[in-house]
Amino acid sequence: MKNSESRDLRRLPNEQAASFRFGTTLIAAAFAVGILAAPANAQSVPAPKPAPKSRDASDGQRPKPPAAVQPEQSPPNPIIPDLRSLFGSGPAPAVNFDANQKILASKVSAYLSSLNNVTGNFVQVGPDGSRTTGDFYIQKPGKLRFEYDAPSPIALIADGTTLAVRDSKLATQDIYPLSQTPLRYLLSDRIDLLKDTNVVGISADDIFVSITIEEKQPLVGTSRLMLMVGAKDYQLKQWTVTDPQGYDTTVAVYNLDSTKKLDQAMFKIDFTNYQNTTNN
């Protein structure tokens, strides 16, 4: 799906551009998800992309990987939570979760751990309200590709140890250790949110179960990630990242499909044909 509102990343003010890139590197949501300092100059890649004809399914009781049994879905309208209003601008206070909240976190952890090979589509809403769309591909452990629809030249590629954010128009590429990005939560084989992350909020209503993760960086500040899964099927619906400057980026995913066999070439990072910038 192409979206006329897709924007050129370089037209944003520096702080908003950094936030866009930070949300881009999530995900994922996050999932993305787990949080680090916003990548400052993330840039992307040209790549042929097999359009995923994804589907979404669940049993309504136990978290399972999505199965290809549903017709292709229309793009969702992402919900934009305000994490700063929930927790303020400083670190969230320590929280003691009750038994029900711990059960919710356990179910979401089981679902995230069950995801292995997954493809789908996404809608991203940036800090300025603009929308971009694209396709994503995940293969655990550690491999991911996010491709943005034209006119955006951005693509993200993780090969198991490294994350590359490429710009096919500029022929540039920013390189990050995968272990230092929020994607580490999405791409790990197994995850226990309460043990492996700093969870500061767990809530549920009739539509979503929401879990908020906070990460503090001494030189950069506090970032937050809110993961949202379906209250009935426990499938990932979206995530929102608030960066240390207070800018929010939301990514909603849909048409999830766990049946496709993915080409390993799509997870290969080209270090020779792009100007590389390494970020540690």
Which pLDDT score is estimated for 47? 35
Question: What are the structure tokens assigned to 136, written together?
Answer: 């994503």
Identify the pLDDT of residue 212.
92
Q: Can you give the pLDDT at residue 118?
A: 92
**What does the radius of gyration of the chain's CA atoms come to, in whole angstroms?**
17
Residues, the chain, total? 280
> What's this model's pTM, rounded to 2 decimal places?
0.70
- Alpha-helical (H) ranges within the chain are 14-25, 83-87, 99-114, 183-187, 193-196
One-letter amino acid identity for 39? Answer: P
pLDDT the model gives residue 207 = 94
Topology of domain 9-45+55-258 in CATH is outer membrane lipoprotein receptor (LolB), chain A (2.50.20)
User: Tens-of-pLDDT digits for all 280 residues of the chain?
Assistant: 444 333 444 444 444 444 444 444 433 333 322 222 233 333 333 333 333 443 343 444 445 554 444 568 888 888 877 766 666 666 667 789 999 999 999 999 999 999 888 999 999 999 999 999 999 999 999 999 999 999 999 999 999 999 999 999 999 999 999 887 767 777 888 999 999 999 999 999 999 999 999 888 777 788 888 999 999 999 999 989 888 888 889 999 999 998 999 999 999 999 999 999 988 7
How far, in Å, CA of 162 to CA of 280, rounded? 11
Q: What is the predicted pLDDT for the residue at 174?
A: 95
Q: Three-class SS of residue 131?
A: strand
DSSP one-letter string for 6-56: ---GGGS-HHHHHHHHHHHHS-EEEEB----PPPSS--------PPP----
Q: Please give the pLDDT value at position 148.
A: 95
Which phi and psi angles does 67 have, rounded to 5°? Answer: -115, 150
